[in-house]
Amino acid sequence: MNSKDPEAMLAARDARYWQEAVDLPSFRELMKAKKKLLVPMVLLYFGAFMGMTLLAGYGGNFMTQKISGAFNMAYLLVLGCYFMCWILGLVYVRIANRDFDAMAARAIEELKNTRRQA
């Protein structure tokens, strides 16, 4: 790699910039808050989806129970997973707009301040 290669120089500069951002306490706080929200959401969805999948494979009698007409438990569980995805997505967006955006703005401002001082 040529030391005068503009792409390599930009990549190195960007890597340093992002490392500075990742090292900021406000950025770490943001990532910790996101993880605190996302891990339970992912586990909830994964558990529900795997439960439905296992029921589809091993709980044939349960899944074929009629609810109304041709509508059975399998349809109900699939619809439940579908709605759960929408609800989890809406909850995430609401919390992200309320909390994460403000935290990200603080992290950006902190990064700008540290770069001005350097």
What's the pLDDT tens digit per position in 30-51?
Answer: 999 999 999 999 999 999 999 9
Residue 64 covered by a domain: yes
Kindly state whether residue 54 falls inside one of the protein's structural domains. yes
46-81 per-position pLDDT tens digit: 999 999 999 999 998 999 999 999 999 999 999 999
Per-residue b or e along 102-112, where b marks 16 or more CB atoms closer than 10 Å to that residue's CB = ebeebbeeebe
In a domain, 59, yes or no: yes
Based on the structure, what is the number of domains in the chain? 1
Indicate the DSSP class of residue 64: T
CA atoms within 13 A on the CB side of 40: 8
Q: Which domain holds residue 90?
A: 25-117
pLDDT of residue 2: 53
Residue 3 confidence class, pLDDT cut points 50, 70, 90: low
CA 34, 35, 37, 39 dihedral sign is positive
Asked whether residue 100 is domain-assigned, the answer is: yes
Q: What percent of the chain has pLDDT over 90?
A: 71
Residue 5, domain member (yes or no): no
Q: What's the pTM value of the predicted model, to 2 decimals? A: 0.76
With CA atoms as reference, report the closest residue to 28 among 98, 114, 103, 113: 103
pLDDT at 104 over 90: yes
**Is there a domain that residue 18 lies in?**
no
78-101 tens-digit pLDDT: 999 999 999 999 999 999 999 999
Asked if 85 and 95 count as a contact pair (C-beta separation under 8 A), the reply is no
